[in-house]
Homo-oligomer: A and B are copies of this chain.
């Protein structure tokens, strides 16, 4: 199920990954990093260029805007993206912080869109950025509304830790999820990025199926207890409006 019956495709994307990671590369460079013969890498790069997903300038190979295109097409097809788009702007404006839209994909939280408030810059928030569900507020907001069995199998699995504050105890996480369901929004305090506080509300559709989460992030210093509650209400309201929107898009 999880293994790949086609090595060439696998290696092809491994090269793409490598290019994306380092913003480009040369034949021998890639060959070394991927532990493949140079001539083989060369063959792959030629093919990738032919597909249009990779381009070369002189000796340097890079990914092309094709990825941007496919990515954007994908995003535009997601109902939730359209439904939440203007909400996100409002949230950013109202709170003055970074506002993001996330979805769950293959057991991870992925950022779909970012809207910047007048202040804040955040290097960790860009469309496509992914993170484990349990380490961040939007992830927990989503976990709280995923089917029981999926949550349990995730909590049974390995719970990685990314900062000193990351919660990795299954029981404490279960408690937190309960709190999210009661209160309506989730909070994390530097559990993914030290010094960064996130407040997030889950977005559900009319059948209560999870569709994503709306999240606001800012520096700890700016988000004290009362501010978090304020923001909690803002994201919750935005999530509710989205829920209604979802049926009319």
| Measured CA separation A173–B105 after assembly (Å) | 48
Q: Which residues of B contact A11 (CB under 8 A)?
A: 9
Chain A interface size band reads: 35 or more
A1-55 at interface with B (beta carbon < 8 Å): 1-14, 16, 20, 23, 43-44, 46-48, 50-53, 55
Q: Which residues of B contact A127 (CB under 8 A)?
A: 65, 68-69, 72
The reply to whether B74 and A71 form a contact with Cβ atoms under 8 Å apart is no
CB of A59 within 8 A of chain B? no
The reply to whether A44 and B129 form a contact with Cβ atoms under 8 Å apart is no
- The 8 A CB mask of A194-207 against B (1 = contact, 0 = none) is 00000000000000
When all copies of this chain in the complex are counted, the total is: 2
Q: Which residues of B contact A14 (CB under 8 A)?
A: 51
Name the distance in Å between A25's Cβ and chain B's nearest Cβ.
Answer: 12
The reply to whether A50 and B16 form a contact with Cβ atoms under 8 Å apart is no
The reply to whether A74 and B70 form a contact with Cβ atoms under 8 Å apart is no
Name the distance in Å between A71's Cβ and chain B's nearest Cβ.
Answer: 3
Q: Which residues of B contact A66 (CB under 8 A)?
A: 128
| Measured CA separation A48–B12 after assembly (Å) | 10
| Measured CA separation A48–B128 after assembly (Å) | 18
Other-chain residue from B1, B50, B76 in contact with A3 (beta carbon distance below 8 A)? B50
